[in-house]
C-alpha cells in the first residue's frame, strides 16, 4: 500500500481506519498537536470498539470502518453531532457501493 511505504510501516487495507483521526485533522486544516491527535484517536477508536459487535458485518469492510472512524473523529472534534454521524453511517451502510464509487471517482479528478 503506497501510504504505508511513505511512512515506512506495513499496513493492510483493513488497518486504514487507524489513520482516520489524522486524516480528519489534516483535511479540516486544524493545527496538529500530539495531544489533539491522541484525544481524537482515542475517541474514534473507542467508538469503533464500542460499535464493533453491533455493526460487525459493515465494519468488516475497510472503507466503512475508515468512514466510521473518520466521522467519529469529526464528532470528537465537535464538528458534527451524534445524530449527524448516525444518519451518515446509516446512509453509508445502506449503500456501500455508493461510498466506493465516490472514493474512486474523487481519486480520478
With left for phi above 0 and alpha for psi between -120 and 50, is residue 31 left, alpha or beta? beta
Residue 13 has pLDDT above 60, yes or no: yes
Domain ranges of the chain: 20-107
Cβ neighbours of residue 43 under 8 Å, at least 6 residues apart?
Answer: 72, 73, 75, 76
- Average pLDDT, stretch 59-75? 91
**Best CA proximity match to 48, nearest among 80, 19, 28:** 19
- CA-CA distance, 62 to 3, in Å (whole number)? 15
Instruction: Enter the C-alpha cell of residue 51.
Output: 460499535
Q: Which of 12-16, 50-54, 64-68, 89-93 has the lowest mean pLDDT?
A: 12-16
What grid cell was written down for 41?
Answer: 484517536
Burial class (CB in 10 A: 0-12, 13-18, 19+), 95: exposed
| pLDDT of 99 over the 50 cut | yes
Alpha carbons 21 and 43: distance in angstroms, whole number: 9
Where does the pLDDT of residue 107 fall: very low under 50, low under 70, confident under 90, or very high at 90 and above? very low
Amino acid at each position: 500500500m503506497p501510504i504505508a511505504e511513505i511512512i515506512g510501516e506495513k499496513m493492510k487495507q483493513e488497518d486504514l481506519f487507524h489513520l482516520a483521526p489524522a486524516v480528519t485533522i489534516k483535511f479540516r486544516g486544524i493545527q496538529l498537536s500530539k495531544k489533539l491527535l491522541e484525544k481524537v484517536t482515542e475517541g474514534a477508536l473507542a467508538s469503533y470498539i464500542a460499535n464493533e459487535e453491533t455493526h460487525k458485518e459493515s465494519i468488516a469492510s475497510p472503507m466503512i470502518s475508515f468512514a466510521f472512524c473518520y466521522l467519529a473523529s469529526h464528532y470528537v472534534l465537535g464538528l458534527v453531532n451524534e445524530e449527524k454521524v448516525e444518519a451518515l453511517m446509516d446512509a453509508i451502510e445502506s449503500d456501500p457501493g455508493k461510498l466506493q464509487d465516490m472514493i474512486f471517482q474523487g481519486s480520478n479528478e
